[in-house]
Amino acid sequence: MQNAFPSLLEEAHNFEIDRIRMWVDATPTGLPIVAAGVRAAITRAPEIAEPETLAAEAIEALQAYWQTLSLAAPTTCQVCIAIDPVAWSVTIEVDESWHWTRTYAVVSPEAEQQPGENDSLGIGLFLVRRIMDEVEYFPQPGSNRWRLSKRLDDVPSLPQPGNSITVVKVDLPASYRYLNVLGECIAAMLGEDSETANALQLATHETCTNIVDHAYAGGGGGRIEATLTLDRLHRTFLVETRDQGDHTFDLTLIPDRFDPTAPVMRSPLLTGSALLFVSATLVNAGNYLFNLLMGRWFGPAAFADISLVVTLFLVMSFITAGLQTPAARFGALYAADHDWQGLADVRRWAKRRAAWIAGGLMVVLILGSGLWAQFFGAASNWMFVIFGVFIPFYILQGVDRGLLQGRTRFGWLAVTYQVEMWSRLILSLGLALLGLGVNGAVLGIGLSFVAAWLVAQRVSKDLPPAQMLAADVGKEIMLFTGPVLVAQLGQILINNSDILIVRRFFVAEEAGAYAALALIGRMVFFATWSIVTAMFPIVAQRFRRGEAHRPLFYLSLGIVLGGSLLIVMVTALFPTQIVQVLFGSAYLAIAPLLWVYAVATMFYALANVVINYRLSIGSTGGTYLAIVAGVAQVATLWVWHATLAQVVWIQVGLMAVLFIVLMAWDWISHLKGTQPAPTPLAEGATG
């Protein structure tokens, strides 16, 4: 195939003009294929005003000439589509004997994407293997080749020109902008929309995306050569690509990526979530050790005070998470476009607003420390003063953690949680041993947030200096952040209001025992948290690129359900042993409720998957269902709290209803096709 493109490679000095060449049979059936390529190329040039009108004019002119051309002896003709962003013109040329040129009006010219890092090596390659019948890869710098084959079993009728084989050759820039040219040509060749056609388009797009990402390291100036072969006799479709990139894909860095026995297990969702799961397991183990030692050292009454402060930190996390989730989503969108300047601008914008929020909370907590101590019946107001001093670091780290998540830098994201856990464990225990008691433990918790904040700032190490964020983007982030805060507030109410209400209405010993119950029962939520964290940016990036993302939702639900049922079973079979080992005999009264609390947490963990999946694709309706459930929990527990068992069973019922309603809403939205469409990030400036 390489020899089919000799002239194009000689025009390296003309790369400022986007040129796409197609080799198609000059027959009536070849015209729809060429027209599809012309339309795709023109409509994907974002600087062209009214691209649909311009594409229609080009195709109309091409049709008139094609009728004359097809009357001659059948031959293969060369069609060149040239888009000149300097002269603002589009030229269509056929065999250098006919050409059509039009100038166009310019709207918001965009610079070609600049080279940048890609932290998701091989995203989508496992999917190619899954949906194609045969995949072959021949790695060699300067001559990487892919060969993808698909049987046309579900295509009942194929266009029937004179020949049983149709071959279309395409040469296009190695740019994300024009990859849909190949997809549109495939659709035109098959003549109808089918599952097979969609699979071919997706596999071709994924393969070429990885060529741009890795063979050319995301840079411009390269070319992708592709041959599309439709064999009607044997009912197969063959896609072959070749690039002139300086790099191979080096599949040894992605072990077993093409192992047909376990392709899904190498997906970025599972590799990212596996890393976070290991980290979260270690973090939770450290947190459990912290709580176990505090509970055994101080007893139920004093442990109730420590648990109160920890719960208040978690309550405030609805703000931290409300900053982290938008940062993760918009960070993922900018990372998908390799727009590092936009990423830096988002960070600056979010940090400023986080600082104002953190400062206000610090004043409220410190000045109102006496009131808080009186309301909750705490032994001292100093722990609320310490809480207020360190709340800014707790909130500010949410922005950088969100950007680490959005860039799929799960390794560094895991490090921030590790640093926070180990510093909390060491400092809190050390200060408590020095005789500072509960206040020493709270001081250690606060210092751990400072340590995590310092590490999370690594996300900005390779970013350019920040500038003013685009005005429309700032507005879009604000509109997205509102429902996210609602969802996080719902999560906080669901996860923590029971502890605060029990602390308010029960004696200290019972409140401390219930805090231990909640700590063990929430193992379900924290064990499955890594799945949601890894799913969110990957789904957001796929949604941005127009790629399949719903299978990741079902995969996440399945993993969370399986892990949750396992934990519920263990807590049901060995409740007394678990409580005895973790907290001691003083807490054995909670053992019969352990599995019940785990069931309540399981339903909420599943609901959380649905909420975050919908948020990752820009659908915010589920957040309002979460806040309704949270408010309902506060209201019902405030009224009905005769026993700890009643408190737990009320939560089981509420969380089960929440999950069922969310699943019904998601499924109806999916069937109606009401998910939002990805929108381009706007330009402009704001503070």
Average pLDDT estimate for 602-618: 81
Q: Is residue 565 part of a domain?
A: yes
Give the model confidence (pLDDT) of 319-372 as tens digits: 777 777 778 777 777 775 667 787 888 888 888 888 888 888 888 888 887 787
The per-residue pLDDT for 344 is 84
Q: Quick one: 499 and 409 in the same domain?
A: yes
Average pLDDT estimate for 643-651: 85
Residue 273 CB contacts under 8 Å (≥ 6 apart), including other chains = 530, 531, 533, 534, 535, 559
Statement: the pTM of the whole predicted model exceeds 0.95: no
Q: What is the identity of the amino acid at 56?
A: A
The pLDDT mean for the chain works out to 75
Last residue of a domain, one of 194, 228, 260: 260
Looking up tokens 């409740």, which residue turns up? 575
Comparison of pLDDT for 641 and 9, the residue scoring more: 641
Candidates 518, 104, 101; CA nearest to 311 is 518
Strand order in the sheet with 134-138: 98-103, 89-94, 76-84, 18-25, 165-173, 223-231, 236-243, 144-151, 134-138
Q: Quick one: 130 and 198 in the same domain?
A: yes
Residue 555 CB contacts under 8 Å (≥ 6 apart), including other chains = 264, 267, 269, 270
Average pLDDT estimate for 275-293: 70
Average pLDDT estimate for 316-320: 73
Looking up tokens 């649905």, which residue turns up? 610
Dist CA 81 CA 177 (whole Å)? 14
The per-residue pLDDT for 591 is 81
The yes-or-no verdict on residue 116 having pLDDT over 60 is no
Q: Quick one: 276 and 253 in the same domain?
A: no
- Structural domain containing residue 309: 267-672
The per-residue pLDDT for 170 is 92
Q: Is residue 61 part of a domain?
A: yes
Q: Quick one: 278 and 239 in the same domain?
A: no
Last residue of a domain, one of 226, 243, 260: 260
Dist CA 320 CA 537 (whole Å)? 17
Q: Is residue 679 part of a domain?
A: no
Q: Is residue 682 part of a domain?
A: no
| CA torsion through residues 374, 375, 380, 384, sign | negative
Q: Is residue 254 part of a domain?
A: yes
Q: What percent of the chain has pLDDT over 90?
A: 2
Dist CA 199 CA 209 (whole Å)? 15
Residue 505 CB contacts under 8 Å (≥ 6 apart), including other chains = 641
The conformational region for residue 634 under phi > 0 = left, psi -120 to 50 = alpha, else beta, is alpha
Give the model confidence (pLDDT) of 461-496 as tens digits: 777 887 887 777 777 777 777 766 666 676 677 767
Q: Is residue 431 part of a domain?
A: yes
Q: Is residue 19 part of a domain?
A: yes
Last residue of a domain, one of 199, 228, 260: 260
Q: Quick one: 353 and 246 in the same domain?
A: no
Q: Quick one: 255 and 309 in the same domain?
A: no
Dist CA 500 CA 506 (whole Å)? 10
CA angle centred on 545, ends 183 and 261, rounded to 5°: 80
Q: Quick one: 193 and 315 in the same domain?
A: no
Beta pairing class for 236-243 and 144-151? antiparallel
The per-residue pLDDT for 336 is 59
681 — pLDDT class (breaks 50, 70, 90): very low
Candidates 652, 656, 661, 657; CA nearest to 622 is 661
Q: How many domains does the chain have?
A: 2
The per-residue pLDDT for 548 is 67
Q: Quick one: 538 and 596 in the same domain?
A: yes
The yes-or-no verdict on residue 222 having pLDDT over 90 is no
The yes-or-no verdict on residue 552 having pLDDT over 50 is yes
Q: Quick one: 465 and 606 in the same domain?
A: yes
Beta pairing class for 98-103 and 18-25? unpaired
Beta pairing class for 144-151 and 134-138? antiparallel
Q: Quick one: 415 and 493 in the same domain?
A: yes
Dist CA 468 CA 122 (whole Å)? 33
Q: Quick one: 199 and 311 in the same domain?
A: no
The two tokens of residue 627 are 């806040």
The yes-or-no verdict on residue 47 having pLDDT over 60 is yes
Q: Quick one: 240 and 350 in the same domain?
A: no
Q: What percent of the chain has pLDDT over 70?
A: 73
Q: Is residue 681 part of a domain?
A: no
169 — pLDDT class (breaks 50, 70, 90): very high
